[in-house]
Amino acid sequence: MTTTATPGQQPRTEPESLHEKPPFELFDKNTQAFVYNNQVNATQRMLDFDYVSGRATPSVAAIIHPTGSDGLSKFFFGRREILIPMYKRLERAAAEHPDVDVMINFASFRSAAASTDEALDVPQLKTIAIIAEGVPERDTKRLTIKAKRLGKVLIGPATVGGIKAGCFKIGNTGGTIENIVESKLHRPGSVGFVSKSGGLSNEEYYTIAMNTDGLYEGIAIGGDMFPGSTLLDHLLRYEQIPEVKMLVCLGELGGSGEYDIVEALEQKRITKPLVMWVTGTCSKAFKTEVQFGHAGAKVGSEAETADAKNAALRRAGAIVPDSYDDYGEKIKETYLELVEAGVITPQPEPEVPVIPMDYAKAVKEGIIRKPASFISTISDDRGEELMYGNVSISEVFERDLGLGGVLSLLWFKRLLPAYATKFIEMAIMITADHGPAVSGAHNTIVATRAGKDLVSSVVSGMLTIGPRFGGAVDGAAQMFSEAFDRGLSPQAFVDEMKRKGVNIQGIGHRVKSIHNPDMRVSIIKDYVFKHFGSSELLGYAVEVEKITTTKRNNLILNVDGAIGIAFADMLRSEMTREEADMYIQLGALNGLFVLGRSIGLMGHHLDQKRLKQGLYRHPWDDIAYMLD
């Protein structure tokens, strides 16, 4: 390392390589940071700043997520997506990223002190920004003493952070990317700025941009009574930076930090032009003591008033405006004098890379539109309450629509009449189970006994649904509807199927017969003929049954056929023929069987679980169905 001295300034240390910063520079274009706590928006804003500043590498090396786990988090770096590592422990992050020397601490006020203490013990970390407000003053004092002893810099607490234009920014400093560009923070200027207030610092960055060639570096030290670093600390740093040609500072009433600046001016430790204003001159208009927004913005004596501080600064040689309204004018006058003297040479504005707008933001602002990848028209949970079609969930219960009403809304996008919703519920109840010997129940039982979970076991049974197990619901509706619509007589229909060698779906039962009828079919027929306005398809099927049973007495209308054909009658009564046929072709009727039979399959799964655990202790034990 070598040292050089600039006239009127402290000796400065030159780095031996481009990758080593002098001690008075906190950040450069290679600076990388840890973000403590998973602050997604702040991290993305830092990366957007990096991109418009022309950085080759992101300024966020990793995220410390103490309540999470190790992993990766996705962000944008310009137009491309990148993955940033996340670590649960700071210790591991430091080991994995030895070049990181900044930590931005977004911990809450309850844990900010402890996490900062931990960070100070990590040798590679040289600058730590504490964002939280409400950190106890005793903790801040202790951390400040420790940081100075270790030669490290604390920014905050209660700070938005800081920014080195075109190089590095802390968290949300400078606001959105649009404000960053408008305030010319994407490229370096000649002004070093420091204030207590984070909000006012963002405003002053714009004021500086409008009246000078822009900011070189800006720091908001935070509004607490005892900040980790002071206004003077950063002004003295700027004094050593050759690129900083003028200083701008914003103080506030309360405390004595501004008098340290007065002393430095008098001792010629600050030689660069300093434009400074202390806010809070309005406090004299109040008859009682007033505390403003910051914890430290409270006057305890006459010397702590804004007027007293401004007067002292003016006497010491600072450029102090008559009021805040003249602040920008004084900055501009000072800048133009330095340009005229040849101290500052304005540079042409570089081209600013364009940050693509986030898709979510663009949609919200209504400036783009994109076709939906998937469309659903049956339900909507985006409003104040869930909607089934055009009926709210509260109305479903107020009107007691039942399962049949919900199904009609979600399947057919309309509320069918009470007779129809009742029939839907009947169909589900009737198809709920058919004993353990059918393929669906058998598969579910086998899968359960093999140790599979409920979903896997039930799915194994559902996959057997087809023409031989449940599929006849659809098949019967389609076959009988087509024959009826073609004007075939029941006898002609039976003869045609015989010539083709095709079984009539919905006809035939292995056990039941004309002499031993299936009560489920009887229940369906009785209900349909009594309550349906039109039952022509079911009447047609009954006539077909009369013919088929003359051949063999078990060729009866079975439960699948009765449900499917009656459902077709119902649909044709409540919608156009074309729409009713569409639902039959889509497999809606077989959906009834799927829905109903899933109830029974779940029962078989639970039954096998009970049997395995020896939990059968109820009156049904003596009617167990034994399968060989």
| Residues involved in catalysis | 294
> 247: helix, coil or strand?
strand
515 phi, psi to nearest 5 deg: -95, -15
Work out the burial of residue 375: count CB atoms within 10 Å of its CB; fewer than 13 is exposed, 13-18 middle, 19 or more buried.
exposed
Instruction: Indicate the Cα dihedral angle 205, 211, 213, 215, nearest 10°.
Output: -20
The answer for residues whose C-beta is within 8 angstroms of residue 324's C-beta and 6 or more apart is: 277, 279, 281
Distance CA 222, CA 294 (A): 8
Report which of 371, 266, 244, 280 is spatially closest to residue 312, judged by C-alpha positions: 266
Q: Please work out, in degrees rounded to the nearest 5, the angle formed at the alpha carbon of residue 78 by the alpha carbons of 73 and 81.
A: 30
Both tokens assigned to 200: 């006012």
Report which of 330, 396, 366, 407 is spatially closest to residue 570, judged by C-alpha positions: 407
Report which of 465, 473, 478, 441 is spatially closest to residue 605, judged by C-alpha positions: 441
Residue that the structure tokens 């919703």 belong to:
421
Cis status of the peptide bond prior to 157, with omega within 30 of 0? yes
Distance CA 329, CA 339 (A): 15
Distance CA 58, CA 56 (A): 7
140 phi, psi to nearest 5 deg: -60, -45
Helices and strands, number each (H, E), in the chain: 23, 18
Contact 592, 563 (CB under 8 A): yes
Q: Where are the alpha helices (DSSP H) in 267-371?
A: 306-316, 327-340, 359-365
CB count within 10 Å of CB 578 equals 7
Q: What is the separation of C-alpha 231 from the centre of its chain, rounded to a whole number of angstroms?
A: 38
